[in-house]
Structure 1
């Protein structure tokens, strides 16, 4: 089942809005009838007071219609035909607004689903909305990736609600099932990030994605144990992140070289100071050394391969290179830039 992000009003707010609309409609009818009160006939034949006009408006809008007050003149009948009758219909719509709102929401969801299926392409599928999945999404958004191009696949209903509350499209189901990944249009995806809570699930998801896409979609997977990383690579993952080994190395650095862990935390924490970034080489940078640039370039990506500056191939920037550099990610620095 596909869930779309939605902005929902609270029940008290929706009820207050409908109540205000009903009261406003009643007051409008009272005012129109009171202005033309001479054109109405009362059984008492003593003329219509403001209270009589209010009484007539209420019984007319509620379709009760006792008949003790009736329009007699042509103008009063014209008002009933062109104003009171449409107001009566509108009043009934307000009364049954809850049912109509449900039907409208179902129609709107169907339209959104149809439009989404026609336009979804080059998106990123996040399998798992746990800590790793949410962190991956945060990193994508920090680098300017469109939130509408992110699709979450999660079997937990609670996590799905959290994802939709964050403004993401979420599909409820297991990413190990082909039908669920097909709902996410995995063949048209740009990449699949696998952030499940177990290594065996990561392997199954990787195999399923590779089977459906024939290896045409980039697969990035997280794994807890380093011994399972080769298995994921054999299953079709292009990149494997070993979470336990990475955390262990960071713990070791925090003991043997405390300043290094501060630098790594700074690079990984958005908006705190330094951040890793990648951009295309500009025309005037081609042919120059990466060390000559104002930006602190630490590596080049050339035809999908990482080239370090210590390599001879990394001494000069070539056309089509991507520059991996360290940028100042502090808010005031971005504002100045």
Structure 2
């Protein structure tokens, strides 16, 4: 009988142990300058050396020098150096029981600490990997309601800057990209990063897309954006997916793939360029509204109880639209002339510099 060939499915990223994910999933932490770390180790090493030398010098009568002229502090420092480095020439030796006891209880532990400092770099690397593995495990268990940004090019970086400027915590943003340099820049801002292609469901699951509240797709190609959107929608049916594309003709494809909002970058830039030729101040105001750090900004808030039943045009805020049942209705439409409980107001707010 012919034998059957059994194919083994490749191991999913999410099935790998956390230690194996170090380098793929990166949890940021406070960075320390390498020169500062080296300086601390050098100071600690010299501190141990002088501590050992002082202990030997205080008990100098219990040691014998090959020259038999007594131990000076320089001799004690020399003994401490050759002892802690395990060289041990033997020209200075402990003779009395107290000196030998001090060597057992003090000099030997100091020697161990000194050797640890000498191989500190290797230990630091191993410790870093273990610490990252532990942080990855803890992060994967607790991450919820965050934002996944796919692609950290110009559009992705700008989206992240806007979110950070609007008060979103860096720990609530996860960046997915295939470029290690881009991810290094994102990690420098305190963002969690995942190295891999977002067209693969395993990579998106590793970024916690199944628990995300929103997903921003800022791919360089429209076809990639469509595929990523399809994959993201399958993994996270309830997340809000916002996609940036280059060509308006691909808008329906992206929406059919599951996008909630679509931004056509080329047309938006083209409109601003056209407006700038005749009314540049309008473009300046639009940029002001889109920059949350200063000037004016477009924001959203819930309708307050005392505002229910009133018209959005009579409020103190400059209201642009009303979000009702998940749908945006512009001010001026009859259906939103009277505000209802549960409505959200899209308004212009003043940002304090």
Q: TM-score, normalised by structure 2?
A: 0.88
Number of residue pairs aligned between Structure 1 and Structure 2: 330
Q: Secondary structure at the match of 2:316?
A: coil
Tell me the distance in 2 between the aligned counterparts of 1:288 and 1:77.
90
> Does the alignment pair 1:162 with 2:204?
no
Distance 1:101 1:312 in 2: 66
Q: Aligned equivalents of 2:209 and 2:246: distance in 1?
A: 24
Q: Tell me which residue corresponds to 1:334.
A: none
> Equivalents in 2 of 1:14, 1:256: separation in Å?
57
Deviation at 1:144, TM superposition (A): 1.6
Deviates more, 1:302-311 or 1:70-79: 70-79
Deviation at 1:193, TM superposition (A): 0.7
Partner of 1:222: 244
**Separation in 2 of the partners of 1:324 and 1:221?**
21
Task: Give the superposition deviation at 1:328.
Answer: 1.3
Alignment of 1:321-336 (within 5 A): 321-331=343-353
Which residue number corresponds to residue 191 of structure 1? Answer: 214
**How far off is 1:52 after superposition?**
1.5
Extract unaligned runs of 5+ from structure 1.
332-337
Q: Does 1:251 align with 2:273?
A: yes
Corresponding position: 1:53 with 2:76: yes
Matches of 1:106 and 1:29, distance apart in 2: 33
- Aligned match for 2:133, one of 110, 113, 131: 110
8 Å CA contact 2:166, 2:292 repeated in 1: no
Partner of 1:302: 324
Q: How far off its partner does 1:260 sit?
A: 2.2
RMSD: 1.9
Structure 2 residues without counterparts, runs of 5 or longer:
1-23
1:135 and 1:216 map into 2 onto residues whose CA distance is 24
1:87 counterpart residue number: 110
TM-score, normalised with respect to structure 1: 0.91
Other-structure match for 2:9 = none
The 5-angstrom pairing of residues 119-198 of structure 1 reads: 119-198=142-221
In 2, the alpha carbon distance for the partners of 1:284 and 1:36 equals 83
**Counterpart in the other structure of 2:224:** 201
Deviation at 1:8, TM superposition (A): 4.1
| Equivalent residues of 1:6, 1:165 under 8 A apart | no
- Name the CA distance, whole Å, in 2 between partners of 1:114 and 1:271: 35
Q: 1:7, CA displacement in angstroms?
A: 4.2
Provide Cα deviations, 1:21-77, integer angstroms capped at 9, x if missing partner.
Answer: 211111111112112212223344432111211121111111122333233334323
